Amino acid sequence: MRKILDFHSPRAWYQCDAALVTCFDSRFDPISSELLKQLRIARPDTIKIAGGSKSLASPEEEFHRTFVLDQIRKSIRLHGTRRVILTLHSDCGGYGRLSGRFQGDAQAEMAHCLEELERAKQFLGEALPAVEVECFFLNFEGAWAVDDSRPDLS
Q: Where are the domains of the chain?
A: 18-145
Q: How far is 136 from 35, CA to CA, in rounded Å?
A: 9
- 53 touches 117 (CB < 8 A): yes
Nearest CA-CA partner of 124 in 74, 85, 80: 85
Residue 151's pLDDT is what?
41
Q: What is the pLDDT of residues 105-154, one digit of tens each?
A: 999 999 999 999 999 999 999 999 999 999 999 999 999 999 754 444 44
- 14 touches 79 (CB < 8 A): yes
Q: Tell me the CATH class for 18-145.
A: alpha beta
Q: What is the pLDDT of residues 36-73, one digit of tens each?
A: 999 999 999 999 999 999 999 999 999 999 999 999 99
